Amino acid sequence: MTERMLGASKLHAPTYEEIEADVTATPQAFGVVVLSSVAAGIGAGAGLAGLLGGAIASLLLWYVWAYLTFWIGTRMLAEPQTRSNYGEVLRTIGFATAPGILRVLGVIPFLRGLVFVGTAIWMLIGAVIAIRQAMDYQSTGRAALVVFIGWLVQMVILSIVFSLLGIRL
């Protein structure tokens, strides 16, 4: 798992291919998402309740984003050679969150903003590579578009849910 996390963090396409093909890697991807979320909670000084809530929210958002990108990538923006399934997308996107573990460095106050923005960008780039590999795309631009649309739709859904629950950001 550690080697895969490092490979995913290095944006190494063959690592994402390996993860895509390994149907037993889904629990590992789950673990990476949880570790990344806990690191973010620690880095943000969220406390125990924040860590638990953040982990649950991260897992839900991971499932939703993976489904959205799977649907968009295989139905709306598929290339002729696109062959994928939800598990492949779920695993590869889960591992794309590996750089988020560095968000633990947010405990250093003057680094928090830089670390959180930097890792967010890093994870989005990882997601593009993850989707390119999981969808068997020839075009990185198409993968980036799928990731962006999926992320945007997820943010709209999240905003609506927060609004209905009376949560302000």
The model's pLDDT over 80-106, given as tens digits with 9 standing for 90+, comes to 999 999 999 999 999 999 999 999 998
Instruction: Evaluate whether 126 touches 167 at the Cβ level (below 8 Å).
Output: no
Query: Taken in order 160, 26, 142, 129, is the CA torsion positive or negative?
Result: positive
Domain, as residue range, for 11: 2-165
Instruction: Evaluate whether 104 touches 42 at the Cβ level (below 8 Å).
Output: yes
Reply yes or no on whether the pLDDT at 162 is more than 90: no
CA 55 to chain centre: 13
How many domains does the structure of the chain reveal?
1
3-state DSSP call for residue 101? helix
Structure confidence at residue 57 (pLDDT): 82
